[in-house]
Amino acid sequence: MQARDVTVLERRPGSIARPDKVAADLLGPAGLGPGAHFDGWDITAWAHEGDHARIEMRHAAGLVERTILVRPHDAAFSAFLRTERWNVSYRGDGFDGDLARALQAIGDRLERVALDLGFDAADLQRRYYERPTKDEVLEVSPGRKLYVRVTEHCDEACLFCNATEGVSNVMPARSGVADVLRGMPVGSLAQIIFSGGEPTLVKGLPELVGLAYDRGARDIILQTNGVALAAPGALEAYLPYRDRLGIGFSLHAMEPGLSAAMIDHADIDRFPAKLRAIDKAIALGFRVKVTCVVMRPNLAQVPAFAQWCWDRWGLGLHRLQFSYAMPRGNAWLNQHLIARFSECTVAFAAAFELGRRTGLRIETSQSACIPPCVMPDYVDHYDLYGDYSGGKVTDPERVKPPDVCGGCKWDRICTGVWQRYLDVFGAGELHAITDRPDPGTVIDDYHEAEVLALDSCG
């Protein structure tokens, strides 16, 4: 495979850049923010929908609910009411005089606010509704986290790799990602994760890590197979950033042959190079995590692997993580190697018990894990970083089947289940947790996905 000089920024396509300012500058002063009351109507919620702001309201007398759509004046869009600066329309049936008066009141209120601000329809469109270019904004995931795949090239071909499917937002790596990092507002991101492919194959990676450091990222993660970091001087290049840099090493076996099979690479000399890199990273004082992705070939060795890691590194290892193979990318091409959730529980539980005895943090990831309802006695070993209450899931490929998950008290800490998993194995292993309270875990780094305006001056 030839190395490509590209990077992939994990961003949410199609979002509108300025929803918070619409609420603060327009809806709030117009008395149309959530919780507001006007002319017998209660505003219950609002959200962006395409090129419109969607206002949900309920008539207090008749308990009638209505959906109102507003956008800057544009004759190309249909609308019940057009003012000089706004289109105002509604969705659904049941039009009556009360709704007509409400639409007129909404138009009048928004018109006054825009007039007071000195904005015409073109100003409103440009300031609040125009879709930004990739050079103007950066859309980051919940928790103010930015995943940067600095290359699509990799020197391994792991049986479970999910980076081979669904990457997007590709741009020139060395220039594009540096420009993005320079343009970020200082201190705006909690975490930047450099991934790939294999990110250490990019010669300028230490400089990119330095840019993230200078822009105030609270936590910087380098995800790597570790082979290149075994070279003399490779880890030393990252020492200036050690106080905020964590290194996540992928290691999927405790002996060369199985390791080579998991990464589909015949060179068993890669295995001792990985170990040398982990040894040195710990000795240099880096925060080190080892991630082992589990499939059928290495499932049986999970408890022994955990013991081996403890014997070799002890508490010098910050975290040991066993991740379930996501059914996408290479893992989806190797479906015969994907274990059922229920096949993993005994091995995972044995590893977690070792963590309880020793104090080593042994966990599974919330993004790539066995759902918590399958291992309810070990929910304290789940790396929880997002709130998925209200039936939300971590991405569109996952679901929470209502007939199985309805009424689950652990909805908040569950990311959902891959639809592909259900297609293959069904939902028989899942059940709603109704006899246990919410674990009460405080998820400190959870925030809604948001959009950052980039400083074009860098």
Would you state the torsion angle of the CA atoms of residues 255, 261, 265, 271, taken in this order, to the nearest 10 degrees?
Answer: -10
How many angstroms separate the CA atoms of 215 and 213, rounded?
5
Q: Which of 78, 111, 129 is the last residue of a domain?
A: 129
With contact defined as beta carbons under 8 Å apart, do 292 and 160 qualify?
Answer: no
Residue 34 CA: distances (Å) to CA of 117, 129, 143, 285? 21, 20, 24, 49
How many angstroms separate the CA atoms of 233 and 253, rounded?
26
Please indicate, yes or no, whether residues 175 and 198 belong to a single structural domain of this protein: yes
With contact defined as beta carbons under 8 Å apart, do 143 and 37 qualify?
Answer: no
Is residue 10, in this structure, part of any structural domain at all? no
Q: What is the 3-state secondary structure (H, E, C) of 206-243?
A: HHHHHHHHHCCCCEEEEEECCCHHHCCCCHHHHHHHCC
Please indicate, yes or no, whether residues 330 and 375 belong to a single structural domain of this protein: yes
User: Please, which residues bridge with residue 145 across strands?
Assistant: 141, 191
Please indicate, yes or no, whether residues 249 and 288 belong to a single structural domain of this protein: yes
How many angstroms separate the CA atoms of 289 and 295, rounded?
19
**Domain hosting residue 93, numbered range:** 19-129
User: Using N-to-C axis directions, what is the helix angle for 341-358 and 302-313, rounded to 10°?
Assistant: 20
Q: Which of 108, 129, 150 is the last residue of a domain?
A: 129
- Nearest C-alpha neighbor of 37 from the set 105, 116, 92: 105
Q: How large is the average pLDDT for residues 119-135?
A: 78
Q: Which of 129, 162, 197 is the last residue of a domain?
A: 129
Q: Can you list the positions of beta strands (E) in 17-143? A: 37-38, 41-49, 52-59, 64-72, 81-82, 86-91, 137-140
What integer best gives the mean pLDDT of the chain?
Answer: 88
Q: Which has the minimum average pLDDT: 135-144, 162-171, 220-229? A: 162-171
User: Please, which residues bridge with residue 292 across strands?
Assistant: 322
Please indicate, yes or no, whether residues 124 and 77 belong to a single structural domain of this protein: yes
Instruction: Tell me 141's DSSP state.
Output: B
State both tokens at 223. 């995800």
Is residue 306, in this structure, part of any structural domain at all? yes
With contact defined as beta carbons under 8 Å apart, do 218 and 190 qualify?
Answer: yes
pLDDT in tens, 190-214: 899 998 889 999 988 999 999 999 9
Q: Is the pLDDT at 173 greater than 80, yes or no?
A: no
Q: Which has the minimum average pLDDT: 161-175, 299-313, 364-378? A: 161-175
pLDDT in tens, 81-117: 999 999 999 988 888 888 999 999 999 999 999 999 9
Residue 289 CA: distances (Å) to CA of 235, 294, 392, 421? 15, 16, 28, 27
Residue 28: partners with Cβ closer than 8 Å, 6 or more residues away: none
State both tokens at 278. 């982990």
Is residue 200, in this structure, part of any structural domain at all? yes
- Nearest C-alpha neighbor of 356 from the set 377, 386, 370: 377
14: confidence class by pLDDT, cuts 50, 70, 90: very low
Please indicate, yes or no, whether residues 211 and 181 belong to a single structural domain of this protein: yes
Please indicate, yes or no, whether residues 94 and 110 belong to a single structural domain of this protein: yes
423: confidence class by pLDDT, cuts 50, 70, 90: very high
The per-residue pLDDT for 386 is: 84
Residue 241: partners with Cβ closer than 8 Å, 6 or more residues away: 209, 210, 213, 220
State both tokens at 81. 């009411």
pTM, whole model, 2 decimals? Answer: 0.76
Is residue 416, in this structure, part of any structural domain at all? no
Overall domain count for the chain: 2
User: Residue 362: enclosing H or E segment and its boundaries?
Assistant: strand 362-365
pLDDT in tens, 356-415: 999 999 999 888 889 999 999 999 999 988 888 889 888 888 999 999 999 999 999 999
CATH classification at residue 150: 3.20.20.70
With contact defined as beta carbons under 8 Å apart, do 164 and 152 qualify?
Answer: no
State both tokens at 186. 């200082």
How many angstroms separate the CA atoms of 271 and 308, rounded?
15
State both tokens at 181. 């990092």
How many angstroms separate the CA atoms of 38 and 58, rounded?
11
Is residue 11, in this structure, part of any structural domain at all? no
Q: Is the pLDDT at 442 greater than 70, yes or no?
A: yes
How many angstroms separate the CA atoms of 199 and 193, rounded?
10
The per-residue pLDDT for 371 is: 94
**The total number of residues written for the chain in this structure:** 458
The per-residue pLDDT for 166 is: 62
User: Please, which residues bridge with residue 439 across strands?
Assistant: none
Burial of 440 (0-12, 13-18, 19+ CB in 10 A): exposed
pLDDT in tens, 214-262: 999 999 999 999 999 999 999 999 999 999 999 999 999 999 999 999 9
Is residue 406, in this structure, part of any structural domain at all? no
Is residue 391, in this structure, part of any structural domain at all? no
Count of CB atoms situated within 10 Å of the CB of 68: 24
Please indicate, yes or no, whether residues 165 and 28 belong to a single structural domain of this protein: no
Please indicate, yes or no, whether residues 170 and 303 belong to a single structural domain of this protein: yes
Q: How large is the average pLDDT for residues 119-146?
A: 76
Report percent pLDDT > 90 for the chain.
59
Please indicate, yes or no, whether residues 265 and 331 belong to a single structural domain of this protein: yes
Please indicate, yes or no, whether residues 160 and 72 belong to a single structural domain of this protein: no
Please indicate, yes or no, whether residues 124 and 155 belong to a single structural domain of this protein: no
Please indicate, yes or no, whether residues 61 and 181 belong to a single structural domain of this protein: no
User: Using N-to-C axis directions, what is the helix angle for 270-283 and 302-313, rounded to 10°?
Assistant: 50
Is residue 412, in this structure, part of any structural domain at all? no
